[in-house]
Amino acid sequence: MNYKTLLIEIKDNIAVLTLNRPEKLNALNSQTLIDLDSAFDELKNNDEIFVIILTGSGEKAFVAGADISELNKLDTISAKDFSKKGQAVFDKITKCEKPVLAAVNGFALGGGCELALACHIRIASENAKFGQPEVNLGIIPGYGGTQRLARLINTGRAMEYILTGDMINAEEAFRIGLVNKVYSPDQLMDKAIEIATKISSKGQQAIRFSVKSVNSVNEMSLNDGQNFEASLFALCCGTEDFKEGTSAFLEKRKPNFINK
């Protein structure tokens, strides 16, 4: 399918989804949210795709935030809807059972930082800059940022970044656990593909159950989460891939997963 604001390239079970409004630093307007929502449905339902990489077009930005020209028109009624719509799209990304890796190639501000936070794994280029600068505009993060940032890097740090609006450079983002790895800009996509290829080589049922189980940490108590883990673990043990993976180990050969 073709999208107005996104490019999708599919190769070797990996989909690279590029936010494509470079002249506006890939700022998220309502069309981008509509496109992201449909694209994730499409990618979820395409059996050929195992892993999704999300990145931004151009050399400057992943996403420089929600589109401020649209924000500027909001009032109290429309703003709630605006926030809920964005949250729903980002929740869809987090709940996607196929791993979603953000390759952050520049500014990831406001909604851009929140978009990266909604992904399962984040890697960044050395020129990446994260931040929740909404207070500079007289608002707070509205696409899940207060919740996801606080859960990922702890409430004290999240509070500081949200209250000051300060940008977080790649080195600091790595130090505080906001991103997993930092690469030079020209290495970033190769490294993203390398990680995605490694994940693609595993049994995909186990990969999807891993995503679901780790995601449940934000929704369940430890006890409920462990029960959920045990159920998914049990389901894994009913798959062909479980038989293949364990047999291959015992027979000292590489597994040949069929993803069933």
Q: How many whole angstroms separate alpha carbon 222 and alpha carbon 228? A: 10
Rounded least distance, CB 175 to ligand COA, Å: 22
Q: How many whole angstroms separate alpha carbon 19 and alpha carbon 33? A: 10
Which of 24, 92, 151, 208 is the binder for ligand COA (CB under 6 A)? 24
Q: Which residues of 215-254 are buried (b: 16+ CB within 10 A; e: fewer)?
A: bbeeeeeeeebeebbeebeeebeebebbebbeeeeeeeee
Instruction: Confirm or reject binding of residue 145 to ligand COA (CB under 6 A).
Output: no
Pattern 96-135, binding to ligand COA, x per CB under 6 A? -----------x-xxx---------------------xx-
Which residue type sits at 201? S
Which of 48, 68, 84, 95 is the binder for ligand COA (CB under 6 A)? 68
Residue 156, classified by CB atoms within 10 Å of its CB into exposed (0-12), middle (13-18) or buried (19+), is: exposed
User: 194 catalytic, yes or no?
Assistant: no
Give the residue from 65, 64, 63, 82 showing the smallest Cα distance to 73.
Answer: 82
Which of 65, 99, 145, 203 is the binder for ligand COA (CB under 6 A)? 65
Interface region with ligand COA, contact rule CB under 6 A, candidates 24-32, 45-53, 221-229, 231-239: 24-32
- The single residue of 9, 97, 114, 172 carrying the catalytic annotation is 114
Which of 32, 54, 67, 210 is the binder for ligand COA (CB under 6 A)? 67
Give the residue from 158, 161, 15, 34 showing the smallest Cα distance to 86.
Answer: 34
For residues 134 and 229, which CB has a smaller minimum distance to ligand COA in the complex?
134
Number of H helices, E strands in the chain: 11, 10
Are the beta carbons of 143 and 114 closer than 8 angstroms? yes
Instruction: Confirm or reject binding of residue 144 to ligand COA (CB under 6 A).
Output: no
- Residue 143 is given by DSSP the state S
User: 59 catalytic, yes or no?
Assistant: no
Residues binding ligand COA: what is the number (CB under 6 A)?
16
For residues 24 and 202, which CB has a smaller minimum distance to ligand COA in the complex?
24
- The single residue of 23, 59, 134, 194 carrying the catalytic annotation is 134
Which stretch of DSSP H or E encloses residue 158?
A: helix 155-164
Q: Which residues bind ligand COA (CB under 6 A)?
A: 24-25, 27, 64-69, 107, 109-111, 133-134, 137
Residues forming the active site: 114, 134
